Chains A and B, each alone.
Chain A
Amino acid sequence: MEPTSATMPIPVDWYLYLSAVLFLIGAVGVLTRRNLFIILFSIELMMNAVNLNLVGFSRFHEDMLGHNFVLFTMAIAAAEAAVGLAIAVALFRNRQTLMVDLFTRMKG
Chain B
Amino acid sequence: MKAADLIAVIPELVLLVAACAVLLAEAFRKEREASSLRGRPRRVAVALALAGTLGSVVASLALVPGEARVTFNATFVLDEWGIFFNVLFGVAAALTVLLSPRYLQAHDRHLGEYYALLLFTLIGMDLLAGARDFLVFYVALELMAISSYLLAAFFRYRLRSNESSLKYFLTGAFASAVLLYGISLLYGQTGATDYWTIGRILGSEGAAPAVLLSVFLVGVGLAFKVSAAPFHMWTPDVYQGAPTPITAFFSVGPKAAAFSVIIAAFIFGFGGVAKEWSVFFIVLGIATMLVGNVVALVQTNVKRMLAYSSIAHAGYMLTGLAAVGWSRDVYPAMGVLVYLAAYTFMNLGAFGVLGYLKTEAPSSFDYSLGRLAGLGRRSPWVGLLFSLFLISLTGIPGTAGFIGKFWVFSGVVLADLWWLAVIAVVLSAVAAYFYLRVIIYMFFREPEEQLVLDRPLRGGAAVALAVCAIATVVIGVLPARLWDAVTEVFATFLG
Q: Footprint of B on A, CB under 8 Å? A: 12, 16, 23, 26-27, 30, 36, 39, 43, 46-47, 49-50, 53-54, 56-57, 60-61, 63, 65-66, 68-69, 72-73, 76, 79-80, 83-84, 86-87, 90-91, 94-95, 100, 103, 105-106, 108
A53 to B214, CA, bound (A): 13
Contact of A65 among B158, B187, B298 (CB under 8 A): B187
A-B contact pairs, 5 of them (CB 8 A): A47-B177, A72-B139, A83-B146, A95-B159, A103-B167
User: 0/1 per residue, B370-406, Cβ < 8 Å to A?
Assistant: 0000000000000000000000000000000000000
A106:B241 contact, CB within 8 angstroms: yes
Contact of B433 with A by CB under 8 A: no
A66:B150 contact, CB within 8 angstroms: no
Contact of B191 among A23, A65, A84 (CB under 8 A): A65
Contact partners of A43 in chain B: CB under 8 A: 170, 173-174, 177
B299:A72 contact, CB within 8 angstroms: no
Known contacts A30-B174, A87-B149; is-contact A57 B160 (Cβ 8 Å): no
Contact of B304 with A by CB under 8 A: yes
Chain B interface secondary structure, helix, strand, loop or mixed?
helix
Known contacts A57-B188, A73-B180, A87-B169; is-contact A106 B138 (Cβ 8 Å): no
Known contacts A80-B146, A94-B159; is-contact A54 B184 (Cβ 8 Å): yes
Contact of B106 with A by CB under 8 A: no
B173:A80 contact, CB within 8 angstroms: yes
Contact partners of A106 in chain B: CB under 8 A: 160, 163-164, 236-237, 240-241, 304
A50:B163 contact, CB within 8 angstroms: no
Known contacts A39-B170, A94-B159; is-contact A79 B146 (Cβ 8 Å): yes
- Residues facing A in B196-253 (CB within 8 A) are 236-237, 240-241
B135:A68 contact, CB within 8 angstroms: yes
A80:B142 contact, CB within 8 angstroms: yes
B181:A23 contact, CB within 8 angstroms: yes
A103 to B160, CA, bound (A): 9
Contact of B419 with A by CB under 8 A: no
B142:A76 contact, CB within 8 angstroms: yes
Closest to A15 in B: B188
Contact of B181 among A49, A56, A66, A80 (CB under 8 A): A49
A105:B163 contact, CB within 8 angstroms: yes
Contact of B192 with A by CB under 8 A: yes
Contact partners of A63 in chain B: CB under 8 A: 191
Contact of B310 with A by CB under 8 A: no
Question: In whole Å, how far is B149's beta carbon from the nearest beta carbon of chain A?
Answer: 5
Of B173, B185, B193, which is in contact with the most chain A CB atoms at under 10 Å from its CB?
B173
Please report the number of residue pairs spanning A and B whose Cβ atoms sit closer than 8 angstroms: 117
A56 to B169, CA, bound (A): 29
Known contacts A66-B187, A83-B149; is-contact A91 B166 (Cβ 8 Å): yes
Contact of B293 with A by CB under 8 A: no
User: 0/1 per residue, B130-160, Cβ < 8 Å to A?
Assistant: 0000010011001000100110010011111
Question: In whole Å, how far is A11's beta carbon from the nearest beta carbon of chain B?
Answer: 13
Q: Footprint of A on B, CB under 8 Å? A: 135, 138-139, 142, 146, 149-150, 153, 156-160, 162-167, 169-170, 173-174, 177-178, 180-181, 183-185, 187-188, 191-193, 236-237, 240-241, 298-299, 301, 304
A103:B192 contact, CB within 8 angstroms: no
B188:A60 contact, CB within 8 angstroms: yes
A61:B191 contact, CB within 8 angstroms: yes
Closest to A90 in B: B156
Contact partners of B159 in chain A: CB under 8 A: 94-95, 103, 105
Question: In whole Å, how far is A29's beta carbon from the nearest beta carbon of chain B?
Answer: 10
Question: In whole Å, how far is B341's beta carbon from the nearest beta carbon of chain A?
Answer: 30
A30 to B176, CA, bound (A): 13
A56 to B418, CA, bound (A): 46
Contact of B162 among A26, A49, A91 (CB under 8 A): A91
Question: In whole Å, how far is B192's beta carbon from the nearest beta carbon of chain A?
Answer: 7
Known contacts A46-B177, A72-B139, A108-B304; is-contact A57 B157 (Cβ 8 Å): no
Of A56, A57, A79, A87, which is in contact with the most chain B CB atoms at under 10 Å from its CB?
A87
B160:A79 contact, CB within 8 angstroms: no
Contact partners of B135 in chain A: CB under 8 A: 68-69, 72
Known contacts A80-B173, A94-B157, A106-B240; is-contact A87 B191 (Cβ 8 Å): no
B153:A90 contact, CB within 8 angstroms: yes
Contact partners of A50 in chain B: CB under 8 A: 177, 180-181, 183-184
A53:B236 contact, CB within 8 angstroms: no
User: What 8 pairs across the A-B complex have the smallest Cβ distances?
Assistant: A46-B177, A53-B184, A57-B188, A61-B191, A106-B237, A90-B156, A103-B163, A50-B180
A46:B181 contact, CB within 8 angstroms: yes
Contact of A87 among B153, B158, B301 (CB under 8 A): B153
Contact partners of A56 in chain B: CB under 8 A: 188
Contact partners of B166 in chain A: CB under 8 A: 36, 87, 91, 100, 103
Contact partners of B191 in chain A: CB under 8 A: 57, 61, 63, 65
Question: In whole Å, how far is A70's beta carbon from the nearest beta carbon of chain B?
Answer: 9
Question: In whole Å, how far is B384's beta carbon from the nearest beta carbon of chain A?
Answer: 29
Closest to B193 in A: A65
Closest to A88 in B: B166
- Kindly list 17 other residue pairs between chains A and B, CB separation below 8 angstroms, not including A87-B153, A105-B163, A108-B299: A30-B174, A50-B180, A50-B181, A50-B183, A53-B184, A66-B184, A76-B146, A79-B142, A80-B142, A80-B146, A83-B169, A84-B173, A90-B153, A91-B166, A100-B170, A103-B162, A106-B163
